[in-house]
Chains A and B, each alone.
Chain A
Amino acid sequence: MSSTSYACIEEGRHIGRRRLLAIMLTTAVATSVVAQFGAAGPALAAGVEPANLRIVWWGGEPRAVATRQALDLIAAKYPGVTFTTEYSGFAGYFDKFATQVAGGNAPDIVQMNFAPELADYGSRGVLLDLGPYVQSGALDVSGFNEAALASGSVDGTLYALPLSGTTPATIINQTKFAQLGIAEPTGTWSWDDFIGLAAEITKAANGAFVGADDASARQEVYEVWYIGRTGNQLYNEAGERTDTVEDLTAWFEMWAEMREAGSIVRPDVQAAHTPGDNATMPFVLGRSAMTFQWSQGQTTLASLQPDDLGLAMQPSAGDNPHQYVRPGNLISITAGTDHPDTAVAVVSAFVSDPEVLKVLAMTRGVPSSSTARELLEPSLSALDQEQVAFIDLVSSGDLANAPNASFSGMLDVDQLFTRIGQDIAFGRLSITEGAQRFLDQAADLLAR
């Protein structure tokens, strides 16, 4: 050891270079070993590196509060993991997500929609393949049965876990029904029953409000009517429409009669409703006593207005089963995330950790996971109990297949249906002309 290769501070107190190296090495090893022990929590924590994860979802205040609490719990379990949260309404949610993905700025964990976004994003490689993590045990899917996992898969690859199940329903304003002394619909009922009830409500309300929202321009409501009437899905496997001018004419004529009778909301008031923005629904604004929405709408709409809300099935248009259960929303990880293992651990806790599940409760709807259902059953609020009972009631009957097709142009056709429906409602287009025009332009859009 030559004395010129290091600094001497004091006589007789110099540290040899090799010894310095040895000390540094030992300290490094010791600190890392101590760090491992220091960060130890549950056994899974060993592979979870500290990270800041961005998580986005859509929903209202109650959901946001519950989700943040759940994330706080998860952060406490995995020290070093922190969250940046963003939430918004559903309108514009996926526009924003697409832009973020394109800009390389995608969030790590994202709440996903069943149709068409899951198939769209899954097939484009935007979402992380969760299969390997299930196999290694890093992702705990013990609460999900095969059907649930299948609903989160695209072409056999698991991209998302369903957080809740939902079904098409009629949302009833119980307060208004009670006010008028009219009995609520229960069990299965037909569209003729619906038409009669809407007229009855309008007459009894005497100008204060009308029977129902005008759903003639909403293709998702038409779809359920069509499935019940014909037993077929709207799109065949080749991606073509299966409905005819007769079907469309029957649908629009049914609503035109209700419009003439005055038992549904005026077209201009209905047109002010932006799809995806619940606060603009005439039903939420107190202008009608019935509307159509997914069953978990009972909870989401309840928080936007003061009256009590109840559920009924969507009226049946024929002898074929028309109610179906589909995931309300799902949770996914984006493929471009920098911390896949941490994200998987977080999602795993999100869907299987008992404390987390209790905090999340039913803010996303009736849970798809049986673990969650069992945990929550004893302590459900009255509203949540109604939700669970409704899903059980529907699931126990004959179910139709959930429409989950995703073809290019489907969103365009959806919007075309709304435009034609509005034109017919405003009297700018005759029903037969509108029906034919819709089918012609829809074929064009699907073939684009």
Chain B
Amino acid sequence: MAVSFYLSFTNFDLLTTPDLVGARNYAYLLRDPRYAQSLFVTFVYVAVSVPLKLVVALALALLLSRSSFGIGPYRAIFYLPSLLGGSVATAIVWRIVFGADGIFNVALGWFGIEGRSWISTPETSLATLIALAVWQFGAPMVIFLAALKQIPAELYEAAAIDGAGRIRMFGAITLPLLTPIIFFNLVLQVINSFQTFTPSYVISGGTGGPSDTTLLYSLYLYLEAFTKLRMGYASAMAWVLLAIIGAITAALFATSRRWVFYADQGDRS
């Protein structure tokens, strides 16, 4: 890490020795249009896919939390995508499914809708990446499942006796008691989401999609480092990413005091 920090102040093309240029890499970050684009794309990606993923994960966890017969296999099936999700193979399949001749368009054809190549149309390419991210809801879902099991059943029974409906029970009991887990999942997913690389690389064929619309931050970093051999610049980008993720995580922790309810909060009403 120390070497990477040093390199961020140099021009280093991997083949010859690095030469110090001071803060020039950081200065260029401020006026690089592609960098600005990659920041925009990444922020949109994180801001849309993380909440969506958590909502889907929680919804499914609620559905799967009842201990009815045969629920075990269902839980496993829903968890499966997140095991496979981040892999190159799945990204390749995704690229084919949402391509011009893919199954998705075949399905649309049954309804008489003519589909386009979703992965290579600027308006929809990022949406396919977001869909792939949301599809991997299994991991947060399993964590939510475990947390749901922790909520004492007596609370629900007491609420039922008091005449509370399902929605009231969810809002007054489940959600507040889940907030620590929601917070945990949120932080974890945000950090991971910022570092997404494989789906972006594979689905866009290593280019960042039509007109840089799928140019996630880590993909741009990789392209600058290994195709342009600008290691110094890429190192600067890596450190800025660290700073961004750190700042957002710190902000999340700071605001958590307001909405995360820990059971052992003493006499907070």
Hey, which bits of chain A sit against chain B, CB under 8 A?
A: 91-92, 94-95, 98-99, 101-102, 121, 124-126, 266-272, 274-275, 277, 280, 285, 411-412, 415, 418-419, 422-423, 426, 428, 441, 448
**How far apart are the CA atoms of A311 and B1 in the complex, in Å?**
53
5 A-B interface contacts by CB (under 8 A): A94-B227, A267-B210, A268-B210, A269-B117, A271-B210
Number of interface residues of B (CB under 8 A): 26
Quick one: given A99-B14, A126-B15, A271-B121, are A411 and B206 in contact (CB under 8 Å)? no
Inter-chain contact B205/A101, CB cutoff 8 Å: no
**Which residues of the partner chain A approach B99 to less than 8 Å between Cβ atoms?**
272
Listed from nearest, the 9 A-B pairs whose CB atoms lie closest are: A274-B205, A271-B120, A102-B14, A272-B120, A271-B210, A268-B117, A268-B121, A95-B226, A422-B211
- B55 on the A face (CB < 8 A): no
- B100 on the A face (CB < 8 A): yes
- B75 on the A face (CB < 8 A): no
Interface string of B195-235 (1 = CB under 8 A from A): 00000000011110011100000000000001111000000
Q: How far is the CB of A329 from chain B (nearest CB, A)?
A: 19
Q: How far is the CB of B135 from chain A (nearest CB, A)?
A: 21
**How far apart are the CA atoms of A102 and B15 in the complex, in Å?**
5
Inter-chain contact B120/A124, CB cutoff 8 Å: no
Inter-chain contact A95/B116, CB cutoff 8 Å: no
Q: How many A-B residue pairs have CB under 8 A?
A: 75
Chain A CB within 10 Å, residue with most, of B101, B204, B207: B207
**How far apart are the CA atoms of A204 and B15 in the complex, in Å?**
54
**How far apart are the CA atoms of A95 and B119 in the complex, in Å?**
24
**Which residues of the partner chain B approach A95 to less than 8 Å between Cβ atoms?**
226-227
**Which residues of the partner chain A approach B269 to less than 8 Å between Cβ atoms?**
none
Quick one: given A271-B117, A448-B28, are A91 and B122 in contact (CB under 8 Å)? no
Inter-chain contact B227/A419, CB cutoff 8 Å: no
Inter-chain contact A426/B15, CB cutoff 8 Å: no
Hey, which bits of chain B sit against chain A, CB under 8 A?
A: 13-16, 28, 33, 99-101, 116-117, 119-122, 204-207, 210-212, 226-229
Inter-chain contact B205/A91, CB cutoff 8 Å: yes
Inter-chain contact A422/B122, CB cutoff 8 Å: yes
Q: How far is the CB of A150 from chain B (nearest CB, A)?
A: 24
Quick one: given A422-B210, A426-B210, are A98 and B229 in contact (CB under 8 Å)? yes
Inter-chain contact A98/B226, CB cutoff 8 Å: yes
**Which residues of the partner chain A approach B229 to less than 8 Å between Cβ atoms?**
98
Contacts beyond the supplied A121-B15, A411-B227: 4 A-B pairs with Cβ under 8 Å: A95-B226, A126-B15, A272-B205, A419-B211
Chain A CB within 10 Å, residue with most, of B99, B120, B229: B120
Q: Which residue of A lies closest to B226 (CB)?
A: A95
Quick one: given A274-B206, A422-B122, are A412 and B14 in contact (CB under 8 Å)? no
Q: Which residue of A lies closest to B24 (CB)?
A: A448
Inter-chain contact A275/B122, CB cutoff 8 Å: no
**How far apart are the CA atoms of A272 and B207 in the complex, in Å?**
10
Inter-chain contact B117/A272, CB cutoff 8 Å: yes
Inter-chain contact B120/A269, CB cutoff 8 Å: yes
**How far apart are the CA atoms of A267 and B123 in the complex, in Å?**
12
Quick one: given A92-B206, A274-B207, A412-B228, are A124 and B117 in contact (CB under 8 Å)? no
Quick one: given A268-B210, A277-B205, A422-B210, are A98 and B14 in contact (CB under 8 Å)? yes
Q: How far is the CB of A297 from chain B (nearest CB, A)?
A: 18
**Which residues of the partner chain B approach A126 to less than 8 Å between Cβ atoms?**
15
**How far apart are the CA atoms of A126 and B101 in the complex, in Å?**
43
Inter-chain contact A98/B15, CB cutoff 8 Å: yes
**Which residues of the partner chain A approach B204 to less than 8 Å between Cβ atoms?**
274
Identify which of B101, B119, B211 contacts A426 (C-beta below 8 A). B211
**How far apart are the CA atoms of A418 and B211 in the complex, in Å?**
8
**Which residues of the partner chain A approach B15 to less than 8 Å between Cβ atoms?**
98, 101-102, 121, 124-126
**Which residues of the partner chain B approach A448 to less than 8 Å between Cβ atoms?**
28
**How far apart are the CA atoms of A274 and B209 in the complex, in Å?**
9
Q: How far is the CB of A420 from chain B (nearest CB, A)?
A: 8
**How far apart are the CA atoms of A101 and B14 in the complex, in Å?**
8
Inter-chain contact B207/A275, CB cutoff 8 Å: yes
Q: How far is the CB of A341 from chain B (nearest CB, A)?
A: 24
Inter-chain contact A272/B100, CB cutoff 8 Å: yes
**How far apart are the CA atoms of A275 and B120 in the complex, in Å?**
13
Q: How far is the CB of A331 from chain B (nearest CB, A)?
A: 20
**How far apart are the CA atoms of A310 and B258 in the complex, in Å?**
70
Quick one: given A411-B228, A412-B228, A426-B210, are A268 and B16 in contact (CB under 8 Å)? no
**How far apart are the CA atoms of A411 and B210 in the complex, in Å?**
17
**Which residues of the partner chain A approach B120 to less than 8 Å between Cβ atoms?**
268-272
Inter-chain contact B212/A419, CB cutoff 8 Å: yes
**How far apart are the CA atoms of A270 and B119 in the complex, in Å?**
11
Q: How far is the CB of A64 from chain B (nearest CB, A)?
A: 22
Inter-chain contact A269/B210, CB cutoff 8 Å: no
Q: Which residue of A lies closest to B122 (CB)?
A: A426
**How far apart are the CA atoms of A106 and B125 in the complex, in Å?**
36
Quick one: given A98-B226, A411-B227, A423-B211, are A268 and B116 in contact (CB under 8 Å)? yes
**Which residues of the partner chain A approach B207 to less than 8 Å between Cβ atoms?**
274-275, 415, 418
Inter-chain contact B119/A272, CB cutoff 8 Å: yes
Q: How far is the CB of B231 from chain A (nearest CB, A)?
A: 8
Quick one: given A124-B13, A274-B205, are A441 and B33 in contact (CB under 8 Å)? yes
**How far apart are the CA atoms of A277 and B207 in the complex, in Å?**
12
Inter-chain contact B100/A91, CB cutoff 8 Å: no
Q: Which residue of B lies closest to A421 (CB)?
A: B211
**Which residues of the partner chain A approach B228 to less than 8 Å between Cβ atoms?**
411-412
Q: How far is the CB of A407 from chain B (nearest CB, A)?
A: 13
